[in-house]
Amino acid sequence: MKDEKFRAWHWNKKRLYQVVQIDALRQEIVCQELGKEDGEPLVFPLDSCRLQRFTGFRDMNGEEIYEDDIVDDTCGRIGIPQSTHLVCWDEKDVAFQLRDYRGAIIPLKPHLLRVLGNKYKDRDIIDKS
């Protein structure tokens, strides 16, 4: 079975963390600050965070793509204005998808995407045009 990988958005701290362990019995998660993987582990109540699953894909720059990431799908296309989309999990199709600001589904082609940010941390970059 494939190991799942998660990131967590902490609602009160307004920060993203790399999830090291999920303890379902205690309803806690053990996290590391992003970029500080050798630091002291942090323990948070499970309901204080929004878990974001790793899609298993990397963008054109090698950055991991997670659920709730905001991505640009126009990289390298001359004359096309930037278009931002949200990475979402679709329960019906049991797959990760891209959605535009109207909710329309866009084909997920990781090799053409560039991660711009996360919907909780970087709401200002979501395309509303």
DSSP-assigned states of every residue in the chain: -PPP-EEEEETTTTEEEEEEEEETTTTEEEEEETT-TTS--EEEEGGGEEEEEEEEEE-TTS-EEETTEEEES-TT-TT----EEEEEEETTTTEEEEE-TT--EE---GGG-EEEEETTT-GGGS---
Domain boundary assignment for the chain: 6-51, 54-125
Total-model pTM: 0.86
Closest CA relative to residue 7, chosen from 115, 129, 90:
115
Q: Please write the tens of the pLDDT for every residue from 62-80.
A: 999 999 999 998 766 655 6
- pLDDT at residue 28, rounded to an integer: 97
Neighbours of 38 (CB within 10 A): 5
Q: Which residues pair with 33 in a beta bridge?
A: 17
Q: Tell me: domain 54-125, CATH 2.30.30.290, correct?
A: yes
Report the C-alpha gap between 67 and 51 in whole angstroms.
Answer: 9
Report the C-alpha gap between 106 and 63 in whole angstroms.
Answer: 20
Out of 76-85, 88-97, 102-111, which region has the weakest mean confidence (pLDDT)?
76-85
